[in-house]
Structures are given as C-alpha cells and as structure tokens.
C-alpha cells in the first residue's frame, strides 16, 4: 500500500477546497521492495505483467474509505536490452466522479447517513 501523505490535508486546507475541484494523485514506489518483485520479472515477447493500483479516499463523514481501482498493463525488458518506445505512450489514467449526498431516515430519529 502506498501512502504518500497518510495524514491527509490539514483542516484549514480541506475547508478551502472548491466544490467540483479535480485532484491528481501521484505516488512513487521503490522497485527494490519485495512486493514489487513481479514488476522486476522480465516478460516474454508476447506476455505482459498486470498490476492493480488502488487509491483509498478517506472522508470524515464516511465510516469506510472509498476505494478506486485501476488495472494496468506493463512489459518488463531485460536491463541490457534496448527497445523502442512507441510515440503514443500514455500514462495510466482513470477519471472518477464522486458525489456525496445526505440520506435522512424517514423517522428522523437517526443521525443522517452519508452515501456516495
């Protein structure tokens, strides 16, 4: 699990966020870590390595984090092998839109629930 900023945004910064704002999440990782050994294994000419990137979003109003998944494909070459990179290489991206709504119990006896 990659956690670049586990503490999240300070309260004053979080309160200043604009409604409808877009965010980009980036994380760096060390290829020497044991859990990434799969990404250091050279693939055959016709095979790829698949891996999943997960981003857990934590909201103060929700009891559980919201998890976003993105499956990526990679080809791993030998270190001494030279290869050509295609011009149309694009980073792995995925757009997600979340809307947080309040849901009230009909009896109004319970606290409001929050739903994504």
The tens digit of pLDDT for each residue in 32-73 reads: 888 888 888 888 888 898 888 888 888 777 788 889 888 888
Query: Taking the domains of the chain in order of start, what are their residue ranges?
Result: 28-116
Query: What was the pLDDT predicted at 72?
Result: 85
Query: What was the pLDDT predicted at 52?
Result: 87
Structure tokens, 61: 């109003």
Q: Return d(Cα 45, Cα 41) in angstroms, integer.
A: 13
pLDDT band at 74 (very low <50, low <70, confident <90, very high): confident
Quote the pTM value. 0.58
pLDDT band at 27 (very low <50, low <70, confident <90, very high): confident
Q: Which residues contact 41 (CB under 8 A, 6 or more apart)?
A: 49, 76
């Amino acid at each position: 699990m990659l956690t670049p900023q586990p503490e999240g945004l300070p309260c004053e910064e979080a309160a200043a966020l604009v409604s409808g704002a877009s965010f980009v999440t980036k994380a760096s990782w060390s290829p020497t870590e044991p859990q990434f050994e799969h990404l250091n294994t050279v693939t055959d000419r016709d095979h790829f390595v698949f891996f999943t990137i997960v981003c857990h979003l934590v909201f103060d109003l929700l009891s559980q984090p919201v998890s976003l998944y993105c499956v990526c494909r990679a080809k791993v070459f030998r270190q001494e092998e030279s290869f050509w990179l295609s011009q149309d290489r694009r980073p792995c991206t995925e757009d997600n839109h979340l809307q947080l709504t309040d849901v009230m119990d009909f009896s109004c006896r319970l606290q409001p629930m929050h739903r994504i």
